[in-house]
Structures are given as structure tokens and as C-alpha cells.
């Protein structure tokens, strides 16, 4: 059975004010790392209220360190990392099963006074909803939930099993997504409504986090020539990695997909600590870094090459040469992922977009990661991201375009109706 796009659009339209209110509530939870559980608890209750059966657990409950794609963590209490999987079971399996997944964790908001409106207020202005996580990706979470709601309002439920997953750790490890797979949830496809501007996400780079730990020899600054400065030594290593990044981007020009974007490999020293006293040369420095992995390269080979770059640069530093720095692999150890064109899943997603938007969706390749890699790369579940339009998710005044959110919700509802089939419900 096929539902007219116009009918779906009308149902999404009539619940859209409720969707925006729901999204505002969701943005109101400051779901920084380790603080997501109130939001997840609220979602678990909301899902149960929709008649879905809810599995709520924490990452401390799941064995997954042995699984491909697992990223190591430090100083993080996984008992606080709550995950939610809601199941909508169909008594008959007429269509294909589906995972709808979204992450609720957000990155820190930065200096509060730089925001036009409070980051966790969820403020609507000129057709946009502003707030940290509004775009990345709580709007997408609202789209998957309200797409199912719109079908329900029309009197239908999916005619195959659907899992609605809200996870954490997407912004730092991906272990939330991995835990759902470790727990056994599987389907014929996985859709993640990340804010792609209604484009099909073709591929993502790999990403690695690491911490550089350096020592220096502290002396009174009046005798600085006799000591070393760990902060300045860190600059030397950072410069060496920047040069390495340039060479990686040259090599990326050979890649069939990632050659299509400029400089897919980005390096970012994102957090720095060091020293104890303004008049002592710093005896220590720690830099938390993020670098993209050269697409096509294994994580192990990449770690080897990066280590070599750091150690070579250290040998040019008087003090570091004899006191080599330590590299701690903490956080993302993420493989790249490409959804090869022509899958049944992608075709169905494209057809849904065409039916609603009356044109062919564009596609995009990102110099970043999403959770798609877990499903697509390790579990053979074709996975793509498709969602509303948003700004840079990690900046000030992050927002989602509400018109695009509405459209994406209609497309997703149409996709569900075609992919899963529909059964009437009372």
C-alpha cells in the first residue's frame, strides 16, 4: 500500500507545532558528555508513551571493547552513558526492517556571552530554531519520531520491525552506536537523520583522537636558556603534524571518492593544558588533538605513521629528544565509510525525496564522521545519513531551518511507508 505524499505532508504539517515544541524541550537538556541521562530518561518515557517497547541501558552494561570500531576512553564513567532503543514490533513482516538512529550528545557551547540567545533555550527566530544540538542532531531525532507519529495519525504503523535508537558518544567515540549492535539490534537498513541539508551522505573520513603528553625542564624564567618550555615544544610537534596533514591531503587526491572534496584530512589541536607558574618554564604540556585518517588507510598503519612523525619532530627538540613524548589514543579510532551507490536502500531514499521534493537529491561527502560506519562497515547494514539543513553544528548560534526540518520529516515518513510497508492500526 502506498500513501500519497500530499497526505503525509498534511499529517506532518498538522503536528509540526507539536514537533517544534518537542524539539525545544529536547534542546533544553544540556546533553554534554556524561550528562545525557535526564534527556535519555525523558525520551525513554516519551517512547513508552507512544506504545513502543523500550530498552534503556548504560554503556557499562555492554561488553564491546573486543568489537571492531570500538574506541578507547579515559576518565569517563560509562554507567552514566545511557542509551535508548525503542522497538515497534510488527505482528507480520511484510516490508523490510529499519533502524532509525540519532545521537543526543552535544559538544560544549563555549563562552556563553557569544550566543545571541542562551544555547540550551531552544529559541525560534525567523524560521530557525537556535540552540546547541538543535541541528546536530536533535532536529533529526524529532524528524524520525514525528515521521512515525504522522503515519500513526493517518492510522498506520510500519508493516515490519522498526527500531528507534537514541545514542550518545557520537561526538567522541561512537561507542553508543556500537553498543546497540553489540546488544543485537539488526535491520535491513539504518537511516541517521544527521543535518545533511537533505542530501544523501555518500561518505565520511576516518577520525582519530590522541593526546600528546610532553615534559619540559623547569627553570626560573630568568635562566630560561638552561631549561626547556613544554608548551613551546608542543608547538613544534603541532607544526610537524600540520605539515604531515598537508602531505596526507596530497595523497587523498588519489582516492576515488575523497578526491572529490578539497583537503578531506583536517587536523585540529583542540584542547591544551600545561605549566604551573607564569615565571617557571613549563615542565609539562598536554594537547588533545583530532586528525582525519587518510581514507583507505587502516587505523593501525595510520597510527604508526603519525607516531613516526611525532617522534621525528621530537628528535629535533633538545629536551624531547631524550624525553620522548607519549601519545595516548583516547577517543575516536574511527574508520572511514563509503556507501557505494546503487543499493536498494539508497534508491528507496532517493525515491522518497523525489516524491516529496520533486527533484533528485544531491549527495555529499564529509571530512567528518557519523555513526553510519558502524552499521555499514562492520555489520553489513546499509546506512546513510539524510536530514534537515543546519549551520555548523559546533559553532555559536547553531540552528536548524524549520522548513527543511518539516520537509525532511515528510521525506522520512514517505520512505518508512515505502520501505517498511504499512499496516492499519486502530
CB of 107 to Zn ion, least distance (A): 9
Beta bridge partners of 84: 56, 166
Q: Which is nearer to Zn ion, 194 or 346 (CB)?
A: 194
Q: Using CB under 5 A, which of the segments 136-144, 219-227, 314-322, 374-382 binds Zn ion?
A: 136-144
Would you count residue 371 as binding Zn ion (CB under 5 A)? Answer: no
Question: If we measure between CA atoms, which residue out of 253, 261, 256 comes closest to residue 366?
Answer: 261
CA distance 324 to 397: 41
Which residue's CB is nearer to Zn ion, number 136 or number 161? 136
Pattern 113-132, Zn ion, x by CB under 5 A: --------------------
- Say if strands 162-167 and 82-88 run parallel, antiparallel, or are unpaired: antiparallel
CA distances from 415 to 12, 201, 346, 347, 406 (A): 14, 16, 10, 10, 14
137 in contact with Zn ion (CB under 5 A): yes
Rounded to the nearest angstrom, the gap between the alpha carbon of residue 168 and the centroid of all alpha carbons in its chain is 9
| Site of grid cell 608548551 | 231
Give me the least distance between CB of 136 and Zn ion, in Å please.
4
The reply to whether 398 sits near Zn ion by the rule CB under 5 A is: no
CA–CA distance, 108 with 409 (Å, rounded to integer): 27
Size of the site for Zn ion (CB under 5 A): 3
* Least gap, CB of 79 to Zn ion (angstroms): 24
Give min distance, CB of 60 to Zn ion, in A.
Answer: 23
Applying CB under 5 A, among 46, 136, 397, 398 the residue interacting with Zn ion is 136
Residues 181-210 that bind Zn ion (CB under 5 A): 194
Q: Which is nearer to Zn ion, 32 or 324 (CB)?
A: 32
46 or 136: CB nearest Zn ion: 136
Q: Which residues contact 270 (CB under 8 A, 6 or more apart)?
A: 288, 289, 290
How many angstroms separate the most distant Cα atoms in the chain? 82
User: What is each CA distance from 232 to 216, 217, 227, in whole angstroms?
Assistant: 9, 12, 12
Burial 116-155 (b: 16+ CB within 10 A, else e): eeebbebbbeeebbbbbbbbbbbbbbbbbbbbbbbbbebe
CB nearer to Zn ion: pick between 64 and 107:
107
| CB 368 to Zn ion: min, Å | 8
Q: Please list, in sequence order, all residues whose beta carbon lies within 8 angstroms of the beta carbon of residue 181, skipping any fewer than 6 positions away.
A: 67, 374, 375, 378, 379
Closer Cβ to Zn ion, 24 or 390, answer by number: 390
Cell numbers at residue 98, please? Answer: 529499519
Q: Toward Zn ion, which CB reaches closer, 95 or 133?
A: 133
Pick 102 or 295: Cβ nearer Zn ion: 102
Question: CB 339 → Zn ion: shortest distance, Å?
Answer: 17
Q: Are 249 and 204 in contact (CB under 8 A)?
A: no
- Residue 82 bridge partners (DSSP): 58
CA-nearest of 106, 108, 50, 61 to 83 is 61
The smaller minimum CB distance to Zn ion, of residues 241 and 372, is found at 372
Counts of helices then strands in the chain (DSSP H, E): 10, 19
* Nearer to Zn ion among residue 136 and residue 397 (C-beta): 136
Residues that bind Zn ion in the complex, under the rule CB under 5 A: 136-137, 194
Amino acid at each position: 500500500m502506498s500513501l500519497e505524499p500530499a497526505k503525509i505532508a498534511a499529517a506532518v504539517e498538522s503536528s509540526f507545532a507539536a514537533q517544534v515544541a518537542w524539539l525545544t524541550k529536547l534542546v533544553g537538556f544540556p546533553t554534554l558528555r556524561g550528562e545525557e541521562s535526564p534527556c535519555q530518561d525523558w525520551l525513554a518515557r516519551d517512547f513508552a508513551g507512544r506504545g513502543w517497547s523500550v530498552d534503556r541501558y548504560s554503556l557499562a552494561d555492554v561488553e564491546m571493547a573486543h568489537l571492531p570500531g570500538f574506541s578507547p576512553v579515559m576518565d569517563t564513567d560509562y554507567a552514566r552513558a545511557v542509551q535508548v532503543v525503542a522497538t515497534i514490533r510488527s505482528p507480520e513482516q511484510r516490508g523490510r526492517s529499519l533502524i532509525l538512529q540519532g545521537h543526543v550528545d552535544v559538544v560544549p557551547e563555549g563562552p556563553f556571552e557569544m550566543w545571541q540567545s542562551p544555547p540550551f533555550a531552544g529559541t525560534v527566530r525567523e524560521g530557525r530554531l537556535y540552540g546547541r544540538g538543535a541541528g546536530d542532531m536533535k532536529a533529526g531525532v524529532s524528524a524520525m519520531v514525528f515521521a512515525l507519529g504522522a503515519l500513526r495519525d493517518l492510522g498506520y504503523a510500519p508493516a515490519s520491525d522498526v527500531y528507534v535508537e537514541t545514542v550518545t558518544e557520537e561526538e567522541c567515540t561512537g561507542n553508543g552506536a556500537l553498543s546497540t549492535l553489540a546488544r543485537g539490534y539488526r535491520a535491513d537498513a539504518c537511516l541517521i537523520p544527521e543535518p545533511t541539508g537533505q542530501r544523501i551522505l555518500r561518505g565520511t573520513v576516518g577520525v582519530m583522537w590522541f593526546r600528546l603528553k610532553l615534559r619540559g625542564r623547569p627553570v626560573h624564567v630568568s635562566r630560561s636558556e638552561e631549561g626547556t618550555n613544554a608548551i613551546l615544544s608542543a608547538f613544534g610537534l603541532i607544526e610537524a603534524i600540520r605539515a604531515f596533514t598537508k602531505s596526507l591531503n596530497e595523497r587523498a587526491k588519489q582516492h576515488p571518492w575523497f578526491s572529490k572534496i578539497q583537503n578531506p584530512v583536517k587536523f585540529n589541536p583542540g584542547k591544551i593544558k600545561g605549566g604551573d607558574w607564569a615565571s617557571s618554564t613549563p615542565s609539562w604540556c598536554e594537547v588533545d588533538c583530532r586528525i582525519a585518517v587518510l581514507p583507505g588507510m587502516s587505523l593501525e598503519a595510520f597510527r604508526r605513521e603519525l607516531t613516526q612523525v611525532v617522534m621525528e619532530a621530537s628528535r629535533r627538540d633538545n629536551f624531547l629528544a631524550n624525553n620522548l613524548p607519549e601519545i595516548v589514543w583516547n577517543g575516536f579510532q574511527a574508520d572511514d565509510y563509503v556507501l557505494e551507490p546503487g543499493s536498494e536502500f539508497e534508491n528507496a531514499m532517493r525515491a522518497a525525496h523525489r516524491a516529496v521534493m520533486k527533484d533528485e537529491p544531491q549527495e555529499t561527502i564529509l571530512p567528518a564522521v557519523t555513526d553510519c560506519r558502524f552499521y555499514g562497515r562492520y555489520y553489513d547494514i546499509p546506512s546513510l545519513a539524510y536530514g534537515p539543513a543546519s549551520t555548523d553544528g559546533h559553532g555559536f548560534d547553531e540552528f536548524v531551518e524549520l522548513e527543511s526540518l518539516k520537509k525532511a520529516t515528510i521525506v522520512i515518513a514517505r520512505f518508512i511507508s515505502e520501505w517498511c510497508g504499512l499496516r492499519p492500526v486502530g
